[in-house]
Amino acid sequence: MPKVIANLSISVDGFAAGPNQSLANPIGEGGMRVHEWMFATAAWARRMGAESIPEETADSEFVEHMHDNVGAFVMGRHMFAPGRGAWDMAWRGWWGEDPPYHAPVFVLTHHAREPLPMQGGTTFHFVTDGIESAMRQARAAAGSKDVLVAGGAETVRQYLAAGQIDELNLHVVPIVLGSGERLFDGLRDLRLAPKRVVASPAVTHITYAIETD
């Protein structure tokens, strides 16, 4: 049966982004450190077309299979673009003309925009009528495959609060940010059952099933 999966990197004290997020620093001060483990993997280097490929590791294997059986994605606007307010129509995402999704991506926003087709099968759809609408559209697009909520923290938190996530992949980086945007702030009565743990010096990957009554 298709699942809704969420995937997020956090610091060991629970922050997915650092403090003082801004247009120039969209992940906040120190926030990029929670993603450095992924950028150092062989799988990421291959995906980005790098000439030099690092050694294969358990972290690389996780990145390699991160999108297995995923037929559609949901993300918050701030994961797609650094700006606020009306769209800069020249902005086409962080990933160049061939984003690493290769499937429909539904972007939560308050500002309408026409769908944006990219190379490799990725099309960004901009959803202005809430998380339920975005999930319905993503499920329809995914068909028999899973939907991945790709981030950021606020988007994952909203779907957790709504009880719409079946499985949560947390990549816990052994750093302390101290402040910023914490994933679990405001959530109550959330029960997680660990299914898989893979550790390396750079990060600990924990897959949780979300328990429901």
Q: Which domain holds residue 134?
A: 4-16+28-81+99-211
Spatial CB neighbours of 178, under 8 Å, sequence gap ≥ 6: 13, 15, 19
Tell me if 94 is assigned to some domain: no
Tell me if 182 is assigned to some domain: yes
DSSP annotation of 41: S
Tell me if 199 is assigned to some domain: yes
Element (H, E) at 10: strand 4-11
Nearest residue to 91 (alpha-carbon basis) of 161, 10, 23: 23
Tell me if 87 is assigned to some domain: no
Rounded to an integer, what distance in angstroms lies between the CA atom of residue 205 and that of residue 199? 6
Q: What pLDDT score was predicted for residue 84? A: 78
CATH (domain of 36) = 3.40.430.10
pLDDT per residue rounded down to tens, the chain (213 residues): 899 999 999 999 999 999 887 777 888 888 999 999 999 999 989 877 888 999 999 999 999 999 999 999 999 998 999 877 899 899 999 888 999 899 999 999 999 999 999 999 999 999 999 999 999 999 999 999 999 999 899 999 999 999 999 999 999 999 999 999 999 999 988 999 999 999 999 999 999 999 876
Tell me if 90 is assigned to some domain: no
Tell me if 93 is assigned to some domain: no
* Cβ pair 10, 172 in contact under 8 A: yes
Residue 134 CB burial class (10 angstroms; 0-12, 13-18, ≥19): buried
Tell me if 175 is assigned to some domain: yes
Q: How many domains does the chain have?
A: 1
Tell me if 154 is assigned to some domain: yes
Spatial CB neighbours of 32, under 8 Å, sequence gap ≥ 6: none
- Position 58, amino acid: A
Q: What pLDDT score was predicted for residue 28? A: 87
Q: What pLDDT score was predicted for residue 213? A: 64
The pTM for the full model equals 0.93
Q: What pLDDT score was predicted for residue 51? A: 85
